[in-house]
């Protein structure tokens, strides 16, 4: 994961600014509070799944590009070994 909270959301902030959209306008258009936008930009808050896709669609990009810190997730799967009693061996 990217370490510094100022760097974590740089893409979100810079893309919003590049499109000349203020935090206030974004909050009005997506029907969320302006403080929530500020918290997301600063890394103090995260969008829920629905807002993540709203923001991505609004800014015409992917969630992974917009929030690389949220996309950087390692998943460890636990696979239970199946056992077939008929053949008395692992499958």
Q: Is there a domain that residue 80 lies in?
A: no
- What is the pLDDT at residue 69? 85
The CATH code of the domain that includes 51 is: 1.10.260.40
pTM confidence score: 0.72
Q: Is there a domain that residue 14 lies in?
A: yes
* Residues above pLDDT 70, as percent of the chain: 77
Q: Is there a domain that residue 91 lies in?
A: no
pLDDT band per the 50, 70, 90 thresholds, residue 89: low
Average pLDDT, the chain: 84
Judge contact between 23 and 37, C-beta under 8 A. Answer: yes
Distances (CA, A) of 90 to 66, 77, 79: 44, 19, 13
Reported as a single tens digit per residue, the pLDDT across 40-74 is 999 899 999 999 999 999 999 999 999 988 887 77
Total domains in the chain come to: 1
pLDDT exceeds 80 at position 3: no
Q: Is there a domain that residue 24 lies in?
A: yes
Q: Is there a domain that residue 37 lies in?
A: yes
**Domain enclosing residue 20, as ranges:** 5-71
């Amino acid at each position: 994961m990217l370490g510094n909270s100022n760097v974590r959301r740089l893409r979100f902030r810079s893309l919003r600014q590049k499109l000349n959209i203020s935090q206030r306008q974004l909050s009005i258009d997506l029907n969320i509070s302006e403080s929530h936008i500020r918290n997301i930009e600063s890394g103090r808050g995260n969008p829920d799944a629905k807002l993540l896709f709203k923001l991505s669609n609004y800014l015409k990009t992917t969630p992974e590009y917009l929030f690389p810190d949220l996309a950087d997730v390692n998943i460890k799967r636990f696979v239970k070994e199946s056992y077939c009693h008929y053949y008395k061996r692992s499958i």
